[in-house]
């Protein structure tokens, strides 16, 4: 099975988020972070793909890739 044929686990999450959304998530089990979605795609882990987003992290001024299942929308674009 090629990478393009792998199933996307949680594909319905792709409809809940858009580029430009302001989101929050928990980082390192203790710190809440806030960021803006720059790109939405999927990451491959083992034989599965999971929806993810490239996020600009506010206050830290860096980019980070986070699984969509870990995000909560604050505002929608």
For residue range 10-64, list pLDDT tens digits in order.
Answer: 788 888 999 999 999 998 888 999 999 999 998 888 888 899 999 999 998 899 9
Confidence (pTM): 0.84
Per-residue confidence at 4, pLDDT binned at 50, 70, 90?
A: low
Domain 3-75 CATH class label: mainly beta
Only one residue has tokens 């972070």, namely 33
CA dist., res. 39 & res. 30, Å (int): 25
pLDDT at 1 over 60: no
Closest by Cα among 7, 12, 14, 6 to 52: 14
59 exposure class (CB count in 10 Å sphere: 0-12, 13-18, 19+): exposed
* Contact between 18 and 38 (Cβ < 8 Å): no
């Amino acid at each position: 099975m090629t990478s393009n044929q792998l199933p996307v686990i949680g594909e319905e999450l792709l409809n809940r988020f858009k580029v430009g959304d302001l989101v929050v998530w928990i980082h390192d089990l203790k710190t809440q972070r806030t960021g803006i979605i720059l790109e939405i795609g999927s990451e491959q882990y083992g034989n599965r793909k999971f929806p993810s987003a490239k996020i600009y992290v506010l206050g830290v001024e860096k980019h980070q890739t986070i699984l969509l299942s870990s995000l909560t929308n604050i505002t929608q674009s």
